[in-house]
Structure 1
């Protein structure tokens, strides 16, 4: 994409009015030169431009913010515009009110199990467990059609029973939710010792189904930290490597943290990592084990955003971190 093409696409973006974007400004922006125009001195304006560039280049906000800070270290930190708060939509509430009590109970229990599975996957990721695609773990067993004294109750059935809903009407309730696009049902057979192959029903929440359940139950989607800040998990890793200083951290740093943080890595195979840590030999050493060290970008990130992290994660100890870079 040429600078002329980039400028043309940016000019069509909402919020580009008054910025007089042209190819020359894009070239100045990329090469670390001063961009002419009084509006370009505002951190809020720079944040708006960074957001628009992320849309044009089809990358996360953090990628543009990191590149911006590396190539334009003298600029004030861009302040990204806030995301719109997610309010329950009228469509979601209408879909909820169209359900009868039993169907609402089913949707509620399936949603609760979906959220529990999501939290389990999050904890497994933090612990460094092997990544499983969502297409696997979001597909949950609803019912195994065999005597309960042999196979017991599934987790969703247990939730339903606690709500006073028992097994009669499973097929009709599931079918009603599926017709409305709130869940997807899968039917197969599973082998049970002593019984052979028995029928089984699995269910998966659709995005619309989760939106309807969140709206009706008043469950807010867990907010991610604002770009370019890290999750608490990744922030702890960066702090650990920074505190190690010239000694470095064991190269077997566990989990998927390096995919998100390390030079030359990528969390998804498409977008680059943050580049805040690097695996190398210690200074002056040419052989032996590789260790993790903080990069210049990592140091700048800590220095620039330390107060924001302290407000965002008050339970994470950052005492004395300023002295490390003094």
Structure 2
């Protein structure tokens, strides 16, 4: 039995829930960091070292965003969030599986709030992987997890499409678009401002012409090749990248 297996099997069920949640949150954060590095390559040519982004928020005195609160939410969903959370984190830290520290962060509306930060150690990551085996490398011809996540997001957004401005990035569209794989394309939509939009009031007050309520928006859509790629390889992608959600 390896050290990682001994470390994992030596934890009680509650401690395993906490370590698993921290590991899963780190994986999500790592994907976000990879996306940032690809998207902002011109502005940030160097990858940030792990120590700069690997500290994850376990709890805050005010609600954090989804990724910051992910550990807290997963532990809560497992029914293991209570006054003993600090003791559980300390037990994991004493075993050398995580590091814990207090600090301050930004809550809603920019307020400064207290927070508890956690970070996996190398030993902790290895132990968590006993419960979360390393994923299989994509077969030749399939997308990396980063690109598959982008393609899946567009698939989920169909038939409306994924807003180009909100999707951001320039590297992944180059790989998935007509220049490379031809799985996605941009279409221009002529849309009407939704009810309650400030344009309606401006038109009523005569500050904007009536036609202003219509505007153009560019959206990413799957091409026929993109739809075929998903249908043909969906089961394989689900097996190797189970955390990526995609519609049928």
Q: TM-score, normalised by structure 2?
A: 0.48
Richer in strand (by share)? 2
Pick the structure with greater CA Rg. 1
Q: Which has the higher contact order (CA 8 A, sep 6+)?
A: 2
Q: TM-score, normalised by structure 1?
A: 0.37
